[in-house]
Amino acid sequence: MKQLVFESLDGPLEYSVTNRPRVTKRLHMEIDARGRLVVVAPRHWSPDQIRLTLSQNAKRVQRFLCNTHRCQPTPLKFVHGELHFFLGETYPLRVGDPNGRKTLVTMEYGAILIRTARKAPEDIQCAVHKWYRQQALGVFQTRFQAVAEKAPWASGRDISLRLRKMKRTWGNCSSGGVIKLNTQLIKAPQELIDYVIAHELCHLREMNHGRAFYTLQESLNPDWRSQRDRLRSDGYLYLR
């Protein structure tokens, strides 16, 4: 993406611009894999309008960058004893010898136990990610059914629930009724999983983030604001 510049409180700051269908009214900010600022803007906004908005919100941009850089997590090493999240709690990895030829991952004695002959970190990482996905398939389906029962507009609809590992998004919903959830969400507490599911269920009726959407979300999940804030503050821990 093309790098642009605006005058921040700390001097000239480079950024790039991207668009997404749901972003129609205001700017969103992200950090890419190289630690650079990415501005998600409504498609109809001009470059000058984007730059002006950033300049007018220079303090907010500075606060976002400070919080983001402070929250850059230490990369996981996938070694014996390292702590990993599952449903909001941390558990140590325990790497042991296999009972047979097949790698097996289980939750035992308050730990994530990996029985495997292949003990290289990249092999442990692969095994743990597969286990997370298996757990997510069951947990997400159960929680989806529980939350959907409270959403009358979802009754009788053919809704497809899918899993996908995403870098920045916890979930999305298509106009065709396909809801995708980030596999990494299995690391978060159940109430935050329910928050994301409720959010996407509301998009079945309201595809944008207008007033009608937030009214609908309030009726389905009155605590959504505090849950959103928790996911924003702690989410970086679950995306590793």
Q: Looking at the predicted structure, is the pLDDT value of residue 68 above 80?
A: no
pLDDT recorded at residue 73: 67
Question: How confident is the model over 37-53, as a mean pLDDT?
Answer: 92
Put the strands of the sheet holding 37-40 in their side by side order: 4-8, 11-18, 37-40, 28-31
**What integer pLDDT is reported at residue 69 of this predicted model?**
66
Tokens of 1: 């993406």
- The Cα–Cα gap between 238 and 63 comes to 22
Residue 72 has pLDDT above 80, yes or no: no
Beta bridge partners of 49: none
Confidence of residue 229 (pLDDT cuts 50, 70, 90): confident
Is pLDDT at 46 greater than 90 in this prediction? yes
Q: What number of other Cβ atoms are within 10 A of residue 71's Cβ?
A: 14
CA 212 to chain CA centroid, Å, is 23
Distances (CA, A) of 90 to 86, 111, 143, 168, 211: 6, 9, 21, 21, 37
Looking at beta carbons, which pairs linking 163-167 to residues 24 or more positions away fall under 8 Å?
A: 163/133, 163/136, 163/137, 165/129, 167/33, 167/239
Query: Is pLDDT of 153 > 80?
Result: yes
DSSP letter at 75 equals P
Q: Which domains are present in the chain?
A: 4-70 (no CATH), 83-238 (3.30.2010.10)
Do 159 and 177 form a contact (C-beta atoms < 8 A)? Answer: yes
Q: What does the pLDDT average to over 40-58?
A: 92
Mean pLDDT over each residue of the chain, to the nearest integer: 91
pLDDT band of residue 65 (cuts 50, 70, 90) is confident
- Give Cβ neighbours of residue 203 (< 8 Å, ≥ 6 apart): 172, 173, 213
- pTM for the structure as a whole: 0.76
Q: Answer yes or no: are the C-beta atoms of 199 and 188 closer than 8 Å.
A: no
Residue 40 or 74, more confident = 40
